[in-house]
Structure 1
Amino acid sequence: MRYDLANCQRVLTAVVIVGRVFAVSFCLERIFIRFPLRKFAFPLFPANLIMSKILIIEPFYGGSHKKLIDTITSNMHPNDYTLITMTAKKWHWRARSSSLYISLQIPDVKDYKILFCSSVLSLAELIGMCPGLSRLKKIVYFHENQIVYPKQSIKDRDYQYGFNQITTCLTADLVVFNSTYNMNSFLDNIDKFIKIMPDYKVKNVADLIKPKSSVLYFPINFSIINGVKMKGRKATNVNDVVHIVWPHRWEYDKNPELFFHTLYRLKDENVNFKVSVLGEAFTEIPDIFLEAHEALKNHIHHFGFVQSTENFYSILIDSDIVVSTADHEFFGVSMLEAVKCGCFPLAPNSLVYPEIYPKECLFKSNDELFAKLKSWCSSPNKLKDLRQRFDIGIDQFDTKVLLPKYLSLLS
């Protein structure tokens, strides 16, 4: 009997010791997760023992879509989320069919509480294939909307893109837009968009989406720009030859034709300037870029995508004016990055731009765009005075201000 009692005591002692070790390990693990030290800490538990809570899906993992996901996840513990992505190619096919591929990548859904995705994903289709996801809190982020995409005619429009975004919103619990313009242009045009259908035209669909819609500006990491600016010239300086920069995607909806034809007019009138054409090119490059590369060869400072973030910001810091000629823009990350680098913005008096920029930064016609560029290139001191007085409260778009709101949304 004594022998059995002694064995029981030893077993109980061992159990207590093991329990205390695991309790201490668990506490330390949670400390590493909570505080910045977690970035340098090695998890004390295997990753598969700490259940993920957030499922993040991005079918078009590139450009601003990638920047947003990377900004959010860089401030989360790796064990707190699972990220499923597809490459940033063939946008139209991602919008049409990504839900099928992604449905086959979904892990055991019981581990998750929140699903976060962009509006490129057809969320309704995904939930149909993975019904277990329906119990999650589903948050959709709109970088852009397809209901007001600029097409020459109704016949040219692929109706399915906009329709998928409507059904995605109806499926979601929260719909977050990157600007008020993005939200209003989407909600205000839903009924008009649905009227394109030949029959069974459902009314008042927007009323189902409005209550769960909100605006949260895109967070931009200005600390990197500040570091690069320390190496460059002061933002209030202006080059003797005014440097114009166009840092946008090389695609139809950014209206590169207007930009380049305006520069052709400056060249024809012997206005002195130099230009940098940045931004990312995809499979199909509009012919105007090849034409402009030759026609403006004596004015070009840089022409093409800049892979290095530091080099990209260095060119922006060396520039004086950043121009947008977009027909389709809902926020404009590169424009705000250029403004932070010291450029004076010039953009259409439409789309999202009046929401962000004062009237002196906006043009109402092609002729006004040309006139402003000609005036500033001919008299750099005018531009210098404008830049010194210019202030849009740029820090409201800083990651330091906006990131806590995103993390709160995902908590």
Structure 2
Amino acid sequence: MTQTPENAPKALLLSAYDAQSHRYWRKQICQGLDQWQWSELCLPPRYFSWRQRGNSLSWAFKERETLTQEYDFLLATSMVDLSALRGFVPELAQLPTVVYFHENQFAYPQNAQQLSSIEPQLTSVYSALCADKILFNSLFNLNSFLAGARALLKAMPDQVPKGLMDRLSAKAEVLPVPIASQSDRELMTAPLGQKSHCLRILWNHRWEYDKGPERLLAAIERLDQQLKSMAKEARPDIRWLILGQSFRKVPGEFTKIERILRADDSPMALEAWGYESSVEAYHSHLGSADIVLSTAEHDFQGLAILEAHAAACYPLLPQRLVYPEWFQESICYPSSTIEEEAQGLADEVLRLAALKAEQGDLPKVHSRVDFNWSSLGPSYQACFDSLLGNRP
């Protein structure tokens, strides 16, 4: 850790819904810019609606001493109700401010159990207008936010000031979340066992509806059917690693997936299942996998995919969301109905299994962007410094 100089900028970082990906980003920023003096306030990632609307109230009356310290800079996630927090704590309105969008509420798929509300969307627009700079982890995120904000403001009945979209567009920039450093990624290349003739498929996402468990189930069902139609000696050895964090309500598709893969007559094997709390063990799983799969209906950057890709996994991704921004569309499977995607995925898995059997490994896939801190860090530094008046 670099020793912080006495005249280093003092920054306040606010994470109002400190989910795993938000925490990952926060740690990367504070470690990468360790010459700054960071103070951090975070709220746990639960009770979404209350957290999104109530964070300003919680902080203003519980953390006033921290909020009213002398700072040079404010960095907040888009979940922070910045306009309300500035009203409660006027000192914050004087600080150069960046709001970081890990996601936006306009492009987030609605669960059948969720009530549609414009309040989270409108609050994020207010926070963006308060900021001097708004950063997005992908162009897909930025464009869908601007399109959603434009449509929302257009739908308001009256008294919408002119030029708001120009203000938002002028301060918006894409700056992805950096992934682990090269030294950290070396941990990922130590597999649980040597990669062998088998084909290991990793699905490593939150166990929630927006990550496409229905699509994953359909693909596994289709692959199960096709393998059973083959002679046993002709079947490729396919093994699944289905990992990820689960919450109080787990989609029922996961029970069905486990039942299929653990069945006595299953032509595939289930090698890992559930949440892996050990970082070292998780990285070993990444290192042992051949393919990292996404069936997501929501991904604004896809950190789980990018980490696995850094560990030499072949990315098998739908042709939607952010993925074509990071990888050539030729490696993305067509985005269509659940049934058509399931068939396309099953066919692609069998093709890749045959390719590995023939060549001993899968081809290396390059991303369009270098996500290392060494590449992205200078852009973060330049962005923050510009708001400090290029302070040395």
Report the TM-score, using the length of structure 2 for normalisation.
0.84
**Distance change >3 Å, CA 51–CA 318, structure 1 → 2:** closer
Matches within 5 A, 1:150-165: 150-151=109-110, 156-165=115-124
SS in 1 for 2:262: coil
Match of 2:218 among 233, 238, 261: 261
Deviations 1:121-176 (A, max 9, x none): 111111111112111001000101111111278x9422111111111111111100
Match of 2:12 among 27, 32, 55: 55
1:141 to 2:100 alignment: yes
Partner residue, 2:230: none
1:190 to 2:190 alignment: no
SS in 1 for 2:86: helix
Aligned equivalents of 2:250, 2:144: Cα separation in 1: 28
SS in 1 for 2:352: helix
1:376 to 2:346 alignment: no
**Distance change >3 Å, CA 376–CA 208, structure 1 → 2:** same
Partner residue, 1:392: 367
SS in 2 for 1:334: helix
How big is the shift at 1:91? Answer: 3.0
Partner residue, 1:332: 302
How big is the shift at 1:238? Answer: 5.7
**Distance change >3 Å, CA 51–CA 225, structure 1 → 2:** closer
Matches within 5 A, 1:39-188: 53-76=10-33, 80-104=37-61, 105-106=63-64, 107=66, 109=68, 111-151=70-110, 156-188=115-147
Q: Which runs of 5+ in 2 are unaligned?
A: 228-234, 264-268, 386-392
Deviations 1:334-356 (A, max 9, x none): 10111111111011111111110
How big is the shift at 1:377? Answer: 3.0
Q: Are the equivalent residues in 2 in contact too, given 1:177–1:215 (CA < 8 A)?
A: yes
SS in 2 for 1:245: strand
How big is the shift at 1:301? Answer: 0.8
Q: Percent identity?
A: 28
Partner residue, 1:282: 247
**Distance change >3 Å, CA 251–CA 108, structure 1 → 2:** closer
**Distance change >3 Å, CA 203–CA 62, structure 1 → 2:** same
Aligned equivalents of 1:230, 1:313: Cα separation in 2: 7
Partner residue, 1:22: none
Aligned equivalents of 1:103, 1:392: Cα separation in 2: 42
Partner residue, 1:19: none
Partner residue, 1:252: 209
Q: Are the equivalent residues in 2 in contact too, given 1:281–1:305 (CA < 8 A)?
A: yes
SS in 2 for 1:388: coil
Aligned equivalents of 2:250, 2:159: Cα separation in 1: 39
Partner residue, 2:197: 240
Task: State the AA in 1 paired with 2:174.
Answer: V
Deviations 1:98-135 (A, max 9, x none): 11112221336351121101001111111111112111
Aligned equivalents of 1:224, 1:260: Cα separation in 2: 36
Root-mean-square deviation (CA, aligned residues, Å) is: 2.8
Task: State the AA in 2 paired with 1:282.
Answer: F
Aligned equivalents of 2:191, 2:51: Cα separation in 1: 39
Deviations 1:7-47 (A, max 9, x none): xxxxxxxxxxxxxxxxxxxxxxxxxxxxx5528xxx9x9xx
**Distance change >3 Å, CA 181–CA 77, structure 1 → 2:** closer
Deviations 1:240-277 (A, max 9, x none): 22111111111111111101220111112226411111
Task: State the AA in 1 paired with 2:213.
Answer: P
How big is the shift at 1:384? Answer: 5.5
Partner residue, 2:389: none
Report the TM-score, using the length of structure 1 for normalisation.
0.80
Aligned equivalents of 2:34, 2:351: Cα separation in 1: 51
Q: Are the equivalent residues in 2 in contact too, given 1:276–1:303 (CA < 8 A)?
A: yes
**Distance change >3 Å, CA 201–CA 273, structure 1 → 2:** farther
Q: Are the equivalent residues in 1 in contact too, given 2:78–2:102 (CA < 8 A)?
A: yes
**Distance change >3 Å, CA 204–CA 326, structure 1 → 2:** farther
How big is the shift at 1:225? Answer: 4.5
Q: Which moved more, 1:301-310 or 1:222-231?
A: 222-231
Q: Which has the higher contact order (CA 8 A, sep 6+)?
A: 2
Partner residue, 1:33: none
Task: State the AA in 2 paired with 1:355.
Answer: E
**Distance change >3 Å, CA 76–CA 378, structure 1 → 2:** closer
Match of 1:405 among 369, 379, 383: 379
**Distance change >3 Å, CA 203–CA 259, structure 1 → 2:** farther
Structure showing the higher helix proportion among its residues: 1
Q: Are the equivalent residues in 2 in contact too, given 1:51–1:111 (CA < 8 A)?
A: no
How many aligned positions are there? Answer: 364
Q: Are the equivalent residues in 2 in contact too, given 1:252–1:286 (CA < 8 A)?
A: yes
How big is the shift at 1:75? Answer: 4.0
